[in-house]
Amino acid sequence: MSFVLDDATLALTGDTLLIRGCGRTDFQGGDPRAMFDSVRRRLFSLPENCLLYPGHDYRGLTVTSVREEQQFNPRLGGEVALEDFSGYMNHLGLPHPKLMEIAVPANLVCGRPNVPDAALRDPDWAPLTMTFAGIWEVQPHWLEENLHTVQIIDVRDTEEFSGPLGHIPGALLVPLDKLAEHTAEFSTDRPIVTVCRSGVRSAQASVLLAKQGFSRVANLAGGMLRWRASRFLVEGGAE
């Protein structure tokens, strides 16, 4: 998609028309014929002095114009015909960008997290927030007030659990690499809050538990670092 100002003096061309190039059409449902028509019939119908700003350029260039691309774009400018363009684009022979199998499905659903619909419903057991990565998080102040209503699973290593940061009172130590072996020990009657040093490992733990069928799981935002910064009670640890 491209976006054009009302006075047609500027257009944002995204990943379609680039500076002396164009976006690829060999993945993500691309179609060289549709791109050719989009550029030649739509974008090239804008005034010649219309400035074009593409979504990216690997050489550090930022802007071109309709006149420049009509004259100098080797793929779409000049007397290039549809057959020329289609043949070129269909035989690029380039490897697909990394993580394309993840990015394409996410793009097709506007980045909606790849989690079951049920997991996207607002939880009723705590005021949770969902991160951009699709992880439910609970804030330290809520957990401090509701320690006895949840199961706290600390997924750090043993040395960290008894180290300087200490651990939350009542927390159960289950290192992340052992988590799958201990899920049968967790109750399904109480929500689970996963904890680690910063919230990264425990975010992964919350995803693993959700896949194991635990529907009420959240990650402690900021982990023990934020818990200690809030001066909440800990067991062990350093002053």
- In tens, the pLDDT along 175-202 reads 999 999 999 999 999 999 999 999 989 9
CATH code at 3-108: 3.60.15.10
Return d(Cα 136, Cα 206) in angstroms, integer: 8
**pLDDT at position 118:** 46
The boundaries of every CATH 3.60.15.10 domain in the chain are 3-108
Low-confidence ranges of the chain (pLDDT < 70): 101, 111-122, 239
Catalytic residue, chosen from 22, 50, 110, 196, is 196
- Which pLDDT score is estimated for 112? 65
How is residue 82 written in tokens?
């549809």
Catalytic residue flag (residue 196): yes
The CATH code of the domain at 117-229 is: 3.40.250.10
Taking only Cα atoms into account, the Rg of the chain, rounded to an integer number of angstroms, comes to 26
Predicted structure pTM score:
0.54
At residue 53, the 3 state secondary structure works out as strand
- Taking the C-alpha atoms of residue 157 and residue 81, their distance in angstroms, rounded to an integer, is 63
Beta pairing, strands 172-173 & 151-154:
parallel
Give the pairing type, strands 136-138 and 217-220.
Answer: parallel
pLDDT of the residue at 156: 95
The segment(s) of the chain belonging to CATH 3.40.250.10 are 117-229
